[in-house]
Chain A
Amino acid sequence: SQQGEEDPQALSIQEGENATMNCSYKTSINNLQWYRQNSGRGLVHLILIRSNEREKHSGRLRVTLDTSKKSSSLLITASRAADTASYFCATPSRDSNYQLIWGAGTKLIIKP
């Protein structure tokens, strides 16, 4: 079963614009992670945000977490062609902290 659901499923923007994607989850969590995947290959960890954090930054990435709404957002500012990828949120399973439950991802396309 999938815990997180990303929205939108696909997003196409011009280079230089900002991209925002959202993740909703069902059960209470102690952290939420965002990953990027290029061309159906391995995933790369982007940011981990804990349940007691509301916002976290890493370079051009900004992640927010609203535990009351069970949702998170990932903002990529000043997008580049190299940001074209699928983006996934992942949360620990309700039963164990080591099992990550993933959404279906947002496919982001940056047009030059």
Chain B
Amino acid sequence: ETGVTQSPTHLIKTRGQQVTLRCSSQSGHNTVSWYQQALGQGPQFIFQYYREEENGRGNFPPRFSGLQFPNYSSELNVNALELDDSALYLCASSLWREGPNEQFFGPGTRLTVL
């Protein structure tokens, strides 16, 4: 069973640029969630994708967008980067079913915006 993988591990960008982060879900999972985690804080929910459609969104502006592909891999795109976007970006995959379920996290992508 393959775990959740993310790429790249680290990334440095400058203000105003655009970035794409990638996530490969755990085998058998059909749902992916993206989180932003600032240093010393808990993760903040960005959005979730289920069957290639956005299934819910946190309090993030539209310049944060995503995609989920038929193989359940996913991308997080951030346009017009701001300094405050510097954070660890985590994706988590899960199997959508009735009731609560645990999420399996990737190792994250550390984004630094200069």
Tell me the A residues contacting B by CB distance below 8 Å: 1-2, 4, 30-31, 33, 35, 40-45, 48, 50, 88, 90, 92-93, 96-105
Inter-chain contacts of A101 with B (CB < 8 A): 45
By size class, the interface of chain B is: 20 to 34
Q: Is the CB of B103 within 8 A of A100?
A: yes
The number of inter-chain residue pairs (CB within 8 angstroms) is 66
Q: Is the CB of A30 within 8 A of B100?
A: yes
Select one of A4, A42, A50, A93 contacting B90, CB under 8 A.
A42
Q: Is the CB of A88 within 8 A of B42?
A: yes
Inter-chain contacts of A100 with B (CB < 8 A): 33, 43, 45, 103
Least CB distance, B54 to chain A, in whole angstroms: 11
Select one of A41, A96, A99, A102 contacting B42, CB under 8 A.
A102
Binds A, one of B61-69, B72-80, B105-113: B105-113
Select one of B88, B100, B103 contacting A50, CB under 8 A.
B100
Select one of A30, A44, A98, A105 contacting B31, CB under 8 A.
A98
Q: Is the CB of B107 within 8 A of A45?
A: no
Least CB distance, B97 to chain A, in whole angstroms: 11
Q: Is the CB of B43 within 8 A of A97?
A: no
Inter-chain contacts of A35 with B (CB < 8 A): 105
Expressed in whole angstroms, the Cα–Cα distance for A44 and B99 within the complex equals: 20
Taking the complex as formed, is B84 at the interface, i.e. its CB lies under 8 A from any CB of chain A? Answer: no
Taking the complex as formed, is B28 at the interface, i.e. its CB lies under 8 A from any CB of chain A? Answer: no
24 intermolecular pairs with C-beta atoms under 8 Å apart: A4-B42, A33-B100, A35-B105, A40-B37, A40-B88, A40-B108, A40-B110, A42-B4, A42-B105, A42-B106, A42-B107, A43-B105, A88-B42, A96-B56, A97-B99, A98-B31, A99-B45, A99-B56, A100-B33, A100-B43, A101-B45, A102-B44, A103-B42, A105-B41
